[in-house]
Each structure stands twice: as structure tokens, then as C-alpha cells.
Amino acid sequence: MDEAGDVLPMYEFEIPNTLVGLIIGIKGKTIKELSTRTDVRMLIRQHHTPEKVDTHQICQVRGKREQINRCLQMLRRRFPPARFPELNLQPVLPPPLPNNLFDALASQPSWVSLPVCTVKLTLPDAIPCEVVCSSVIDPGHFFLQQPTHPSFSSLSHLDMYMIRLYSQGTDIPDLPKPCQSEHCLPGYQMS
């Protein structure tokens, strides 16, 4: 998040597992230097595609567009394509939606059976963390987002999926009746 309180853009790309250690550096020296010199936040996390979990990880770079571009340029200078052809700085896209969304969504998702507390993020006790107030219903009812949490990048993917699903007009899944308390319903308004 920048000084104005805006959520900063994010860029994600794949890193082969063989290069993760080099990019992090000894005691995090390389990744800290890249982050400090370009004023970005960098995070390396597990790949979201099951086929690539064992071979690649995702590097997330968060900052202003110019800062992200400068970080990618520095990364490319440090790891030139002639010597590191396996490092591809192309953005990673979310996994494709299934062909028949209704069939995919008609079966009960695995997270529905989880206790509600396991699908919520909680704020850590006595530790400051960055949050964005995304909606205020009343003084005791508001919604927060944690842009520095590793799961935050999934929010844009979820938003894209929901827009594509609920703007089709057909094959929109019905809410089962009676409604169970664990269901999460989208409240989406076209502007």
C-alpha cells in the first residue's frame, strides 16, 4: 500500500526451483537488495498449478508500475537470458475456468464443509499489519483486506471468476434451500 492508501499493483512470474536459492541469496541478501533498490516488496510462494508445484514457484513483486519494471530489469541483468534461459519473467495467468462452469460449481466445493474459522483470515494479536478497509456497513460492521498476506493475490482471480460466472446470464448456480450458514454469497453490483 502506498502513502495515499491505494493498493499497489502486483506482478507475478514463475521461478524454477533450481533458481529460487540464487534469487533469494545468502540470508536473503539478493532479494532484499532488489527490494530496497527498487522500492518494491517481493514474495516467493508455492505455485498454484498442481503440475508445477514440484518444479516452479511464484515470485510476486508489489510496487508502483515503474518500480516493478525497474525490479524486473535489475533481475534480468543479474540473471541474463544467455546464462539463465530457464528464467522466464512473463506474467503468470490464473488457471483457466472449466468448460462447463455449472457442472463444476454444482458439486459441493470442498471448502463448504470446512469450519467457518478456517476460511477467514484473522489479524495477528499485538503485531501491526497492513490492512485496507474495503467497506464500512456501520461502525461495528466493516470489511478489511490484508494486501500483504500471501493469499491476497487470489482476490483478483476470485473477482475475475465471479464476474465471468455471474455475467453469463445462463448456468448460474442456484443457492441450495435451506441455505446453510457456511455459504458465502457474492454481492456484486455493476457500475
> For position 98, what pLDDT does the model report?
53
Mean pLDDT of 145-172: 71
Mean pLDDT of 122-146: 79
Please tell me the distance from the alpha carbon of residue 76 to that of residue 12, in angstroms, as a whole number. Answer: 15
**pLDDT for residue 105 is more than 50:** no
Percent of the chain at pLDDT exceeding 90: 32
Q: Quick one: residue 174, left, alpha or beta (phi over 0 = left, psi -120 to 50 = alpha)?
A: beta
**pLDDT for residue 163 is more than 80:** no
Confidence band of 102 (pLDDT split at 50, 70, 90): very low
pLDDT tens digits along 4-44: 556 678 888 999 999 999 999 999 999 999 999 999 999 99
DSSP string, 122-169: -PPTT-----EEEEEEETTEEEEE-TTSGGGHHHHHHHHHHHHHHTSS
Mean pLDDT of 44-67: 90
Confidence band of 71 (pLDDT split at 50, 70, 90): very high
Most confident range (mean pLDDT) of 23-27, 124-128, 151-155, 158-162 is 23-27
**pLDDT for residue 178 is more than 80:** no
Name the grid cell of 79: 540473471
Q: Quick one: residue 85, left, alpha or beta (phi over 0 = left, psi -120 to 50 = alpha)?
A: alpha
What is the edge-to-edge ordering of all strands in the sheet holding 10-16? 10-16, 56-62, 41-46
> For position 112, what pLDDT does the model report?
42
CA geometry: angle 105, 108, 111, nearest 5 deg:
105
Confidence band of 190 (pLDDT split at 50, 70, 90): low
Mean pLDDT of 168-177: 63
Q: Where are the domains of the chain?
A: 10-78, 94-191
Please tell me the distance from the alpha carbon of residue 25 to that of residue 117, in angstroms, as a whole number. Answer: 36
Name the grid cell of 159: 473477482
**pLDDT for residue 84 is more than 90:** yes
CATH number of 10-78: 3.30.1370.10
Please tell me the distance from the alpha carbon of residue 187 to that of residue 37, in angstroms, as a whole number. Answer: 41
Neighbouring CB atoms inside 10 A of 50's CB total: 8
Q: Chain-wide mean pLDDT for the chain? A: 76
